[in-house]
Chain A
Amino acid sequence: MKKLLILLLLCLPLTVRAQAAEFTAPGVPEAGAQYMPQEQDSFGSALHSMLQKVLQELRPNLREAARSALGVFAGVLAVSVLGPVQEKNNLGMRMVLTLAVSAALLGNAHAMIRLGTRTIEEMSDYGRLLLPVMAAALAAQGGLTASAALYTGTAVFDAVLSRLISALLCPMVYLFLALAVANSAIGEGMLKKLRDLLKTFISWCLKTILTVFTTYMSITGVVSGTTDAAVLKATKVTISTMVPMVGSILSDASEAVLVSTGVMKNAAGIYGILAMLAIFLSPFLQIGVQYLVLKATAAVCSVFAPASAAELIEDFSTAMGMLLAMTGAACLLLLISTVCFMKGAQG
């Protein structure tokens, strides 16, 4: 009878409903949905499939960029070959050439700046959905300290970077172009220095934020990861020694739960990385195409055009380069933080 009662008491916990946690990455926004690979079994093949889709869609952009470059080339050729633009005092000719190049390139530049800003906003919005999932998954895996530290750091840096880019750096790109056009038209030394100062400032801002962020993530990852790993180990030892008879079984079972949570976390992380790349790749490559085509145009025009015209085309190319740096920085920040979450509580 006693044995029957003990058996019934031991069966009582079996009446509690079993529960499981699920960690899924948020769905891809519309902008990137068309580039998401159908199968995501292998990261390499998924990335390859995504690149193929993006490159196929890049052809119209390449054609448009080439047409714009040919237009600039025709305008510069018309003036440079027939007109005495080389004379320093020929302000009228210089202004006409500057206006012609600006009219041909400003529209495209504006479209690319808007594309870059929109992409950064979309990536930031997706990051705000993905990172809490990753933080929760890491916490469930036992990385309580790491998840809090990593999430705080990433949220702060992401907010700072996206706000800095939209409120300060993007308007500075417009200002850079304005100074470049004015410098080309008038040829004033002070304008050139201001233009170079802006370029240096934008570059310095991005480098500083990324350097501080990666340093913070490395230190936080090591310190909190070590702490969490030590806590997990101590907990397992405690369970296996304190609970009689079934302690080691419970310890192994908890290990299995943690490993499963880790698998789910990594799956969510890989999906999140692919989703961010789907949002990022197409706009990045479009801006990259503009950058390369403008660089080539500046190089070709420098053969026969006056230095001011070639320099102006080069400045438009530099503006595209700055946009590439901004979008790349925003994507890199989120990718690094996702990878840090995936690395998790391993020390």
Chain B
Amino acid sequence: METFWKAVAAALIAAVLGLTLGKKDFSLVLSMAVCCMAAAAAAVYIEPVLKLLKELEAVSGLDGGMVTILLKSAGIGLVTTLASMICQDAGNASLAKTMHMLGTGAVLYLSVPVFRAVLELLRDILGGI
């Protein structure tokens, strides 16, 4: 939990520094650096969750590819949201929207195998009705 408190403290200090220094470019770079640091710190806490997911995947007999796709989608979503917010902080709303669109496109691209799996199921169901 020490890492957690350090990350929170770093984020708060960066926010205060950003306000007090008044330099937008410096504030933006500082925000990006602290975000990356906090994400690295969060990875420490997410690791046991990933292990739990692996165990659940083994017990449930779920297709390994499915969980990987979901994790990748979740990661892309997270990174896209962070990037979009940083762009908004920089005052560039159009870039923020584009980030959002890029993330959605990437997630949908990744989910094509899941679409196909559902389509196969629907073919079986409709064939059986």
Contact = CB atoms under 8 A, between A and B. Distances in A.
A170 to B, nearest CB: 8
Q: Chain A contact residues (Cβ within 8 angstroms of B): what range?
A: 35 or more
Interface stretch (A26-34, A91-99, A136-144, A326-334): A91-99
Contacts of B56: 70-71, 73-74, 77
Interface string A44-86: 0000000000000000000000011111011101110111110
Contacts of A74: 53, 56-57, 60, 62, 67
Interface in A89-134: 89-93, 95-97, 99-100, 102-104, 106-107, 110, 114
Interface in B37-60: 46, 49, 52-53, 56-57, 59-60
Nearest to B106: A92
B108 A92 contact: yes
Interface stretch (B13-21, B87-95, B111-119): B111-119
A41 interface: no
Given A78-B74, A79-B70, A82-B78, A104 B53 contact: no
Nearest to B125: A110
B61 to A, nearest CB: 6
B53 A78 contact: yes
A119 B78 CA distance: 47
Interface in B104-129: 104-108, 110-111, 114-115, 117-118, 121-122, 124-125, 128-129
Dominant SS at the A interface? helix
A83 B78 contact: yes
A75 B65 CA distance: 11
A71 B58 CA distance: 9
Contact of B60 (A67, A95, A102): A67
Given A74-B56, A100-B66, A87 B73 contact: no
Question: Shortest 10 CB-CB distances between A and B: which pairs?
Answer: A83-B74, A92-B104, A71-B60, A92-B107, A82-B74, A70-B60, A74-B56, A71-B62, A83-B77, A78-B70
Interface of A: 67-71, 73-75, 77-79, 81-85, 87, 89-93, 95-97, 99-100, 102-104, 106-107, 110, 114, 171, 174
Given A78-B71, A90-B81, 15 more contacts: A69-B60, A70-B60, A73-B56, A77-B53, A78-B67, A82-B78, A84-B81, A92-B73, A92-B103, A92-B104, A96-B111, A103-B117, A103-B121, A106-B122, A174-B129
